[in-house]
Amino acid sequence: MDLRAALAAHRLVAIVRGGDPEAALRTVLAMADEGVELIEVSLSGKDALSVIERAREALGPDRPLGAGTVLTADDARAAQRAGANFAVTPALGEGIGAAHALGLPVLAGVMTPTEILAARTSGAAALKIFPAAQAGGPAYLKALRGPFPHELFVPVGGVDEAATRAYLAAGATAVGVGSPLVGDAADGGSVTALRDRARAFLTVTQKGKP
């Protein structure tokens, strides 16, 4: 898949990390049904590879579906086997190069300018500023865009609806959102409330889109 184009088009990556595999699967499918196009299932969740595999079967072969918390080459290979077609990392590591070699575009976790350069060298398609709130928020992102005007930045960590607006205004290509969007749905919480939150975030991320 063309991750760069997808991030620019959809501007939202939903992050699912759950302790209940059945609930996590329901969460993925409910958000997809609401129109969330980019969904990442973190490998740190319970039976995450099974969730990815079953979600892939339900969504079909072409829908974007990511594996998050890809730390190692083994993680990258397992994610691809399960059906992920993009990978997300929290930091620099061997998972980036391994995923890239397997043909999986990578949203690579970075925080500093040095890490941005290293991620680019490793073949990352886009850059996840993580943890964004602790890194300095929208002001930090705006500062990074000075020396790196052509990079695709995706802030992740503490991104609620208000922060989403601020990051997009500061030049983020997209945002990655976990608990402010998913809530407790991936642990068995309300899917109805999840759907409401998904519609709210879609409204924010699609408003004013170029």
Neighbouring residues of 56: CB distance < 8 A, sequence distance ≥ 6: 65, 82, 83, 84
- Residue 88's pLDDT is 98
DSSP code string of 90-123: SSSSHHHHHHHHTT--EEEEE-SHHHHHHHHHHT
CA distance 172 to 117: 18
Of all residues in the chain, the percent with pLDDT exceeding 90 is: 97
CA distance 105 to 202: 23
- Residue 207's pLDDT is 83
**Sheet (strand 106-110) strand order:** 153-155, 126-129, 106-110, 86-88, 66-68, 38-42, 12-16, 175-177
Sorting pLDDT into bands at 50, 70 and 90, what band is 208?
A: low
- Residue 210's pLDDT is 66
Q: Is 0.95 surpassed by the pTM of this model?
A: yes
Which whole number is the average pLDDT over 7-29? 98
Would you state the structure tokens that stand for residue 157, as one six-digit string?
């960590």
Q: Which residues are catalytic?
A: 40, 128
Which whole number is the average pLDDT over 74-97? 97
What does the pLDDT look like over 130-168, one tens digit per residue?
999 998 999 999 999 999 999 999 999 999 999 999 999
Domains and CATH numbers, the chain: 3-206 (3.20.20.70)
pLDDT of residue 69 exceeding 90, the answer is yes
